[in-house]
Structure 1
Amino acid sequence: MNWIILIIAGLCEVGFTYCLGRAKDVSGIEYLAWMAGFLLFTVLSMGLLAKATQSIPLGTAYPVWTGIGAVGTVLIGIIFFKEPATFARIFFISTLILSIVGLKAVSAA
């Protein structure tokens, strides 16, 4: 169950970076709404990470959490913010995904 919580925490990290990306291009009430989303996702992400580390070693949970966030944020950038999808970016994101899977595979939790 804590692995599911950790995955959701990582997805919340992607959520807060998406909100941050949207907030930088707007102003007024729309800016405040995106920043409220950013704060909500940040609190959820950190809280769920803390919950997951109750049974998953911190040395495993934190890299998995940041890895999910990094991979998700790069994909969000490519899909929604028109960032380049170069061979090098895709290659290194793929190696990051393999590393996350490897950490899960060798974890005792």
Structure 2
Amino acid sequence: MELSEVTGDRLVQILATLANPHRMRILATLAGGEDYVSRLARKMGISRALLQVHLRKLEAAGLVTSRLVLSEDGKAMKYYDIEPFSLHLTPEALAAAALSLTADQSKGDRK
């Protein structure tokens, strides 16, 4: 995914997803290669439940992908990996993305 391919609404979703320190740490950990939930939770020192909440948000934003693998003992293990992306933010790129914001997104700051 390249910034030029991203709509304004999608960029807002991606940036909001990346604004969480747990999710940044998850991506940093997955930069070393795919991993399954239990081992990833141990590496990060957080619960599987909390990890899965953040992984779902990362997956919804298109920043990670998942796949189920059946282990030798018959357990289903969910593996996660980073989906390659590049976001080079410039004023021009933000201006271009802003043109495609929907009405709901462009009003997000107003209260």
Higher relative helix content: 1
Instruction: Report 1 or 2 for greater relative contact order, CA contacts < 8 Å, sequence distance ≥ 6.
Output: 2
TM range (shorter): under 0.3
Higher Cα Rg: structure 1 or 2? 2
Q: Normalising by structure 2, what TM-score?
A: 0.26
Higher relative strand content: 2
Q: Normalising by structure 1, what TM-score?
A: 0.27
